[in-house]
Structure 1
Amino acid sequence: MSTWRDRIPTIGSIDLPPDPRALDGLGRNHSLETAIADLVDNSIDAGASHVLIRLVRVEGRLRALYVVDNGHGMPESRIDSAMTIGGQRAYSSNDLGKFGLGLKAASFSQARSLTVISQALGSTAVGRRWLLDENREGFLCDIIPTDFATDEFERQWRIDGMDTGTVIRWDNVTGFPATDNPARVEDFISRTANALQNHLGLVFHRIIDAGKISIEIDVEDIEAGAPGPRIPVTALNPFGYVRSGRAGYPKELSARLGDTDLRFRCHIWTGRSTLPQFKLPGGAEARQGIYFYRRDRLLQAGEGWHGIHASDRRLQLARVEVEIDDDIVRLFAMNPEKSKVNVGPEFTQLAEQAKADDGTTFHDYLEVAEHTFRESRKRSTERRKMAPLGKGIAPELRKAIEREIPFDMESEPIDIRWKRFSSDDFFEIDREQRSLWLNEKYRPPTRGERRSVNDAPLLKALLYLVAEELFRGEYLGARDKDNVELYQEILTAAAKSEQI
């Protein structure tokens, strides 16, 4: 009978390199959007101020995708490390990459060919290529000749400060449509650009808002000889409401467990908001929950409460920010795609203990969020319809009003415009022409630019809210006439006082 031994003996070592086909399995959980976000992480780590995503079309077909930045670039020694499977450079504490697989996993999830060309300060452009091939033997990375690397680096990227930087090129992209049908190709480009705008605008919203990075998308038609117009990626802030849905919020809850401190910044959105920041890809209900950030990069955008509470449609106004800093990083595990965060049992315990300075607990917060949602359902049915807006209102203001007020489409629109009066009156109600006229005498001065018919948005919005009811009915009643006199006296006096 053999005995158990504490130490396991060895008699030597043998080199067992991985099967080259293992490359095919990298990044299987990536989407196109998460894969490109991983490349943008590398650009940010490299100190880039600008990132360009370019689709290339040749003879009607999409043939390649580029991600280009004006970061520090890499010399030959660094590019070899970057292209090594599992190779890890010396990461700083602020870097978003950690696994040594991000570039390769993201790229191989979407394309059969990955080419990296980079130029560091004082160096010539260098390039390497990985080509997924079923017949490949070993891990042999192709070397790109200097002349081709230089030509690629110096293409018409239209990026300032491109003395250094990196060009990532994907060929044989698996998701590209296998057709040159113009309608299908244009539809794919439109959907892809929209998906990238939404995902990158959400994931990097803090960094974009801070002006640290600019991300743009364009399409180059090789036969046309020049790239097309650029599509900017704008910040999509999931906490970018105009006003909080509840007084006293956002509110910070904090908890301590042993030597671990954790803070929850709790937000409540206004009900029935139609802002894209609220709706987000997938819908507001799916986006309730915890928003995890690391170095201002959004790792997970809601999608649940991680054991604190079950998801519920009545909690769709509730969103919570959690910062994963170095002190608490051990509580969390991030997937390689940087799209999901898993929490340990301590996280739920901390959430249960968390309190605000006024004693509010997490349970209290969720109750307030649910109550706010219920109240918003009631209020929305009680808002009176108002006549639609006509001329004189800026499109952005019109959209904002439309989001909050149901329009009575059977009513004629109300124009709000300026004209010269023979009197000092501030305004004039013209029910026949459905116009609220404002006295040109009191028109706010411009700062040198040409006057716009859509000027003075604050004044016009307030007058619309106050005077809209005066355009209702067949005639002005005694109460309406008294209100007109009241408004006229006060507004005219106020306008005159501004001219003194």
Structure 2
Amino acid sequence: MPYEPGANWQYDVPTTGSTHLPPDAGYGKALTNQGYGFEVAVADLIDNSIDAKADEIVVHFLRDADRILTLLIVDNGEGMDEAGLDSAMTVGRRRDYGEGALGLYGTGLKAASLSHASSLTVVSRTRRSRSAGRRLTAEGIEDGFRCDTVDPRYAQELVDRYDGIIEWQGTVVRWDNVRAFETVGRGQSDQFLSKAISRLETHLGLYLHRYLQRGLKLDIAVWDVSSRENELGEEVDHIAVEALDPFGYKVPGKPGYPRKFTASVEGLGDVNLTAHIWPAKSRQAGFRQIGALSERQGFYFYRNDRLVQAGGWNGWRNPEGHLVLARVAIDLPSRENSVLSLDVKKEKVTVTPAFTEGIEKAVDSKGRIFRSYLADAESAYRDGSRRNEIVRKPVTPPGKGMDPKVKRVIKEELPEKPGEDPIAFIWSALPSAQFFSLDRERNAVILNRAYRDDFNEGRRGGSNDAPVTKALLYLLLEDCFGLGRWERTRQDRVDYWNTILLASVEVQRERRTQVTS
């Protein structure tokens, strides 16, 4: 119907046609400025692996003697063929996600990757298609959104290198020219990786804890490609990510909890709130090792079992010291809605006044209001604060070479000295009269490689092997680090500990010989 001037101007805007306007190349620069933290970006890529039905995922750092080279994320999911790769790498194209998918906006792969790396490569194969790959670079985006086709021979070779994970199908996502890696000075790679992996392990263990608890196998590994151990190099660190359950207490901080409340929210319907109270002064990792306690009180929003916000009251109230035991689990609806919206990075939920009004009126099955829960959480905190507690001395934390499960228990049991680099455990060549030595400049315990097999039952040990031996040495030697002047009495202790441990190795060798003969 032709437009008649002055008619219905207040209700509608008439049009006369349409034009398709492709995105300007400058849009690509916006992908690199999404504000993704490193751990958040990696978690976003792992979401894609989970959506592809992967049950084994490895985050793989490659390094050489001087620098960190690249980062790869490898999974054994369903994989993609050529058409699927083209779709996944198309900037601005939104995918159709299933009901239970973790993906939401279709931009995560590109935005998360290009926020940290100048080059994104994806190589994949399915049960019915050969290995194929695509590469997206910052320069390619500026050049009219050009996407490069990876040489099929390289794609197959890369998949073959990970045949322990990708047997019939899977995907490798590779970041090159990672900006954070390029800032690491010569000789600083170990320190950088130790801190980066620790933060990544905590983030993934927390935000994916429900999947890890259901059996997802998620590892973080570091390979030194300059090593002559074999053609692929040598694995120098390997961590199996463990679930960090923010509600994983053994006994609640107050009887009768957890307790379920229901909030009637206009525009959304009933929203279930599962209110928890942690025991006061808990040392469990799920309470103390996921960030500052003041920031971790409040709402924990989940979407399809993936944690998307870990704490905060979303404007309903301010955080307070006496509410640090209060945590509330809320499962978001899978479908998008106008009341609770998730940001593109999947780390914060925005709520409308309708949600906070619903919280005010939330009740449990016995008619108790939600604010009574806050009073109970505050009471549990104050009761716990009045209890006498033995104060344990802070320690320098264990680092590389110690099994993650042992490290986690040490962190739960002992407070850490602030600002201290972790103590590493390294197997290396030493004189036969030494079982171990101390490298106090590098904060490392050096173990004699000649005795390694004796603590691994003759098997080739991994980077986190001999957990009992390393734990005992840690307890003996922790106070030898972070000191000023090195006292003669401490050196004398180190000398006689070495002598006694060497004698124990000889006894162990004799017993093994008797058993085998």
Give the TM-score taking structure 1 as reference length: 0.73
Tell me whether 1:21 sits opposite 2:26 in the alignment.
yes
Evaluate the alpha carbon distance shift between residue 361 and residue 123 of structure 1 in structure 2; reply closer, same or farther with a 3 A threshold.
Answer: same
Q: 2:158 aligns with which of 152, 155, 160?
A: 152
C-alpha distance in structure 1 between counterparts of 2:37 and 2:209, whole Å: 19
2:213 maps to what in 1?
209
1:191 maps to what in 2?
195
Evaluate the alpha carbon distance shift between residue 245 and residue 61 of structure 1 in structure 2; reply closer, same or farther with a 3 A threshold.
Answer: same
Q: CA deviation at 1:311?
A: 1.0
Evaluate the alpha carbon distance shift between residue 9 and residue 90 of structure 1 in structure 2; reply closer, same or farther with a 3 A threshold.
Answer: closer
Q: 1:247 aligns with which of 252, 255, 265?
A: 255
Superposition pairs of residues 394-433 of structure 1, within 5 angstroms: none
Query: Do the aligned residues in 1 keep the contact of 2:140 with 2:146 (CA within 8 Å)?
Result: no
Query: Do the aligned residues in 2 keep the contact of 1:203 with 1:297 (CA within 8 Å)?
Result: yes
Tell me whether 1:175 sits opposite 2:180 in the alignment.
yes
1:322 maps to what in 2?
330
Tell me whether 1:263 sits opposite 2:272 in the alignment.
yes
2:299 maps to what in 1?
290
2:64 maps to what in 1?
58
Query: Do the aligned residues in 1 keep the contact of 2:284 with 2:412 (CA within 8 Å)?
Result: no
Which is further off, 193-202 or 222-231? 222-231
Query: Do the aligned residues in 1 keep the contact of 2:95 with 2:105 (CA within 8 Å)?
Result: no
> What is the number of equivalent residue pairs in this alignment?
390
C-alpha distance in structure 2 between counterparts of 1:257 and 1:8, whole Å: 34
Query: Do the aligned residues in 2 keep the contact of 1:238 with 1:280 (CA within 8 Å)?
Result: no
What does the per-residue CA deviation read over 1:114-164, in whole Å, with 9 as the maximum and x for residues that have no partner?
0011101121011101111289321111111110111111114632x5310
Q: CA deviation at 1:84?
A: 0.4
Superposition pairs of residues 360-375 of structure 1, within 5 angstroms: 360-375=368-383
Superposition pairs of residues 83-94 of structure 1, within 5 angstroms: 83-94=89-100
1:98 maps to what in 2?
104
C-alpha distance in structure 2 between counterparts of 1:73 and 1:108, whole Å: 21
Partner of 1:230, secondary structure, is strand
Evaluate the alpha carbon distance shift between residue 280 and residue 179 of structure 1 in structure 2; reply closer, same or farther with a 3 A threshold.
Answer: closer
Q: CA deviation at 1:175?
A: 0.9
Q: CA deviation at 1:29?
A: 1.6
Evaluate the alpha carbon distance shift between residue 125 and residue 306 of structure 1 in structure 2; reply closer, same or farther with a 3 A threshold.
Answer: same
What does the per-residue CA deviation read over 1:392-444, in whole Å, with 9 as the maximum and x for residues that have no partner?
xxx9999799679xxxxxxxxxxxxxxxxxxxxxxxxxxxxxxxxxxxxxxxx
Q: Which has the larger radius of gyration?
A: 1
Q: CA deviation at 1:273?
A: 1.5
What does the per-residue CA deviation read over 1:292-347, in whole Å, with 9 as the maximum and x for residues that have no partner?
01111000000x21233221111000000001124785421100000000112221
Evaluate the alpha carbon distance shift between residue 187 and residue 350 of structure 1 in structure 2; reply closer, same or farther with a 3 A threshold.
Answer: same
C-alpha distance in structure 2 between counterparts of 1:400 and 1:89, whole Å: 42
1:353 maps to what in 2?
361
Tell me whether 1:275 sits opposite 2:284 in the alignment.
yes
What does the per-residue CA deviation read over 1:187-233, in whole Å, with 9 as the maximum and x for residues that have no partner?
1110111011000000000110011x111011121111233342111
Evaluate the alpha carbon distance shift between residue 247 and residue 396 of structure 1 in structure 2; reply closer, same or farther with a 3 A threshold.
Answer: farther
Query: Do the aligned residues in 2 keep the contact of 1:260 with 1:328 (CA within 8 Å)?
Result: no
Tell me whether 1:128 sits opposite 2:134 in the alignment.
yes
Q: 2:168 aligns with which of 163, 166, 185?
A: 163
C-alpha distance in structure 2 between counterparts of 1:312 and 1:384, whole Å: 24
Query: Do the aligned residues in 2 keep the contact of 1:38 with 1:103 (CA within 8 Å)?
Result: yes
1:219 maps to what in 2?
222
Superposed CA RMSD in Å reads: 2.7
Evaluate the alpha carbon distance shift between residue 157 and residue 194 of structure 1 in structure 2; reply closer, same or farther with a 3 A threshold.
Answer: farther
Evaluate the alpha carbon distance shift between residue 328 and residue 267 of structure 1 in structure 2; reply closer, same or farther with a 3 A threshold.
Answer: farther
Query: Do the aligned residues in 1 keep the contact of 2:100 with 2:334 (CA within 8 Å)?
Result: no
**Identity rate, percent:** 38
Tell me whether 1:230 sits opposite 2:234 in the alignment.
no
C-alpha distance in structure 2 between counterparts of 1:57 and 1:401, whole Å: 31
Query: Do the aligned residues in 2 keep the contact of 1:280 with 1:287 (CA within 8 Å)?
Result: no
Query: Do the aligned residues in 2 keep the contact of 1:177 with 1:185 (CA within 8 Å)?
Result: no
Give the TM-score taking structure 2 as reference length: 0.71
Query: Do the aligned residues in 2 keep the contact of 1:82 with 1:88 (CA within 8 Å)?
Result: no
Q: CA deviation at 1:275?
A: 1.8
Query: Do the aligned residues in 1 keep the contact of 2:64 with 2:226 (CA within 8 Å)?
Result: yes
Query: Do the aligned residues in 2 keep the contact of 1:260 with 1:327 (CA within 8 Å)?
Result: no
